[in-house]
Chain A
C-alpha cells in the first residue's frame, strides 16, 4: 500500500512542477513523469493491458508535444563533470524501473479474486464462451464490443478534426510555398 502512496505523491509533484515551471520543455518532461508513474501504478494494480496502452500513448504524446508544438530548438548537450551525473541518473532510473516492473509482473495473476457477480461470471465463463485466453480482450471485443466501436468512433472523429483544422485547402495562397 505504501508503494501506491509514494507513486501518487510522485505523480502529484510531477503535475505541480509541470504547471509552475517556466520552461516549456521542462513542463513536458514533468508531464512525462506523471504518465510513466501512472503506467507503473497500473502495472502494480494488475492491469498490464492498460499499462502498455498508457506507456505507448505517453511516448507518442511526448513526441507530439516536443516535435510538433514546441517551436524552440531543443539542444540537450551536456559535457564536463555533469556528463557522469546525467549518465548515472539515467542508469539509476532504468534499473529502478526494471525492479518495479519485475515486482509488479510477479503479482499480476493473483489480482481479481474478490469479484462481483457479473465479473465473476465473465471470469468463470469467458474462456469457454469466447475462446480468448486474455480476458480483457474477451470483454472489450466480445462482451462489450459496442463500447469499443464507440471508442473507435471517438478517435476517428478526433483525427478528422485534426485534419480539418490543419488542412492545406483553406490556407491563403501566400502561405503555400513549401
Chain B
C-alpha cells in the first residue's frame, strides 16, 4: 500500500473518533496549567500529536487542509503574542513580564494574571512548531523516496 494514502480503514475510523478527544485533552492541559500539572509546553505537544495522528492515519494528502504554511503562521503568532505579553508589562508598568492582569482569586480558571495567556501563547508556538517539524520531515522523506 502506498504510504501517502494513509493506513487502513480501521485506523482511519478510530482516529476520526479519538482525535477530538486528544485535542480536547490538550486544550484542558493548556488552560488549567496554572491550577494543575501541565502547562503550555505539554499541552502544545499534545495538540501537535492530535494533528500528527491525523497525518499518520490519512497520509500526506490530508496536508491540503493543514498545510505547512499555516503551521508557520500560527507559530509566529504564538511567539509574537508571548513577546507582546512581556512588552505590555514593560511599557505600562516599567517591569519586564509584569503581571499586569493582577492575581485574581486563586483556584479559579481566570486567575494568576498573565500565566494563562502566556500558556496559550506557548501552546500555539510549541504545537505549531513541532507539527511543522514533523510535516517538513515527512515531506522531505517522501520527496527522497520519489527520486
Contacts of B145 in A (CB 8 A): 71
Complex contact A59–B132 (CB within 8 A) = no
- CB pair B129–A155 under 8 Å, yes or no, is yes
Cβ B96 vs Cβ A138 within 8 A? no
| Interface flag for B66 (CB, 8 Å) | no
Q: Is B115's CB under 8 angstroms from A142's CB?
A: yes
Kindly state whether residue A146 has any CB partner on chain B within 8 Å. Answer: yes
A4-12, A48-56, A78-86 - the one binding chain B: A48-56
**Which residue of B37, B99, B114, B140 contacts A52 across the interface (Cβ within 8 Å)?**
B37
A72 CA to B13 CA, complexed, in Å: 26
Q: Quick one: given A138-B115, A145-B97, are A152 and B122 in contact (CB under 8 Å)? A: yes
Using a CB–CB cutoff of 8 Å, the interface residues on chain B facing chain A are 29, 33-42, 45-46, 48-49, 52, 56, 72, 75, 79, 82-83, 86, 96-97, 99, 102-107, 111-115, 118-119, 122, 125-126, 129-130, 132-134, 136-147
Q: Which of B46, B72, B99, B140 contacts A166 (CB under 8 A)?
A: B140
Q: How far is the CB of A66 from chain B (nearest CB, A)?
A: 10
A141, B139: Cβ atoms under 8 Å?
A: no
| Distance from B18 Cβ to chain A, minimum over Cβ atoms (Å) | 14
Minimum Cβ distance to chain B for residue A52 (Å): 4
Inter-chain contact A141/B115, CB cutoff 8 Å: yes
A162 within 8 A of partner (CB): yes
Is the C-beta of A98 less than 8 angstroms from some C-beta in chain B? no
State the CA gap A82–B142 with chains docked (Å): 33
Interface string of A40-82 (1 = CB under 8 A from B): 0000000011011100110110011001110100000000000
Residues on the B chain within 8 Å of A101, using CB: none
CB contacts (< 8 Å) of B97 on chain A: these are: 142, 145-146, 149
Point out the residues of chain A lying under 8 angstroms from B34, CB to CB: 131-134, 137-138, 141
Q: Considering the complex, which residues of chain A in the window 120-145 have a beta carbon less than 8 Å from any beta carbon of chain B?
A: 127-134, 136-138, 140-142, 145
Q: Which residues of A contact B (CB under 8 A)?
A: 48-49, 51-53, 56-57, 59-60, 63-64, 67-69, 71, 127-134, 136-138, 140-142, 145-146, 148-149, 152, 155-156, 158-159, 162-163, 166, 168, 171, 175, 177-178
Contact A133 B107 (CB under 8 A): yes
By beta carbon, the residue of chain B nearest A57 is: B45
Contacts of B45 in A (CB 8 A): 53, 56-57, 60
With beta carbons under 8 angstroms apart, the residue of A53, A59, A64, A141 that contacts B119 is A141
30 A-B residue pairs with Cβ-Cβ distance under 8 Å, sorted by A, are: A52-B38, A53-B45, A56-B42, A56-B49, A60-B52, A64-B137, A127-B106, A131-B104, A132-B106, A132-B111, A133-B107, A134-B33, A134-B35, A134-B39, A137-B34, A137-B39, A137-B115, A141-B34, A141-B114, A142-B112, A142-B113, A149-B82, A152-B79, A152-B122, A156-B79, A159-B132, A159-B133, A163-B136, A166-B137, A168-B139
